[in-house]
Structure 1
């Protein structure tokens, strides 16, 4: 897993989130790299959390499906955590 690939995946999630929310400037993605996986922590404005989760979690599930495809291509596991406003990164 190269640094370039990790930044590209982080930017992918950031751009998807920005396209979904009303306050794109509030979108923040942080990565926590582990040996065999990377956790992407997505934080958006409090009013936009529902937009990135979607009805019955469909939007979040779709983004996770995209990450799953990227994981298979890059041979590195990525997981997405959508943080509520009061959760620490």
Structure 2
């Protein structure tokens, strides 16, 4: 069971391993985290440097993807096409899981 959103300050990064007992990620959050990790790790040249954190904002979970600066272009894609495609995929997932999901890509 996840904690109510108002227990977390806005934009607080949540590392799944650091969550206290009883405040675990939901199955939907775990699946989204795995999906994003899988896609991004398979796009980049430095997969060991990929991290995905969850930022809890007022009404949504924002998944923040950090990659090696050399890989940023691969994840964003020409004209933002790859990032847009990943966001479309997350929109489909959010409709199915009743979650509001956002994506931030940072170096």
- TM-score, length-normalised on structure 1? 0.88
Structure with more of its chain in helix, by fraction: 1
Cα RMSD over matched residues? 1.4
Please tell me whether Structure 1 or Structure 2 has the larger radius of gyration of its CA atoms.
2
User: How many corresponding residue pairs?
Assistant: 84
2:88 to 60, 65, 70: 65
- TM-score, length-normalised on structure 2? 0.73
* Per-residue deviation, 1:35: 5.0
**Structure 1 gap ranges (5+):** 85-89
Show the 5 A alignment for 1:47-86: 47-84=70-107
**Structure 2 gap ranges (5+):** 3-24
Q: Runs ≥4 in structure 1, deviation > 2 angstroms? A: 33-36
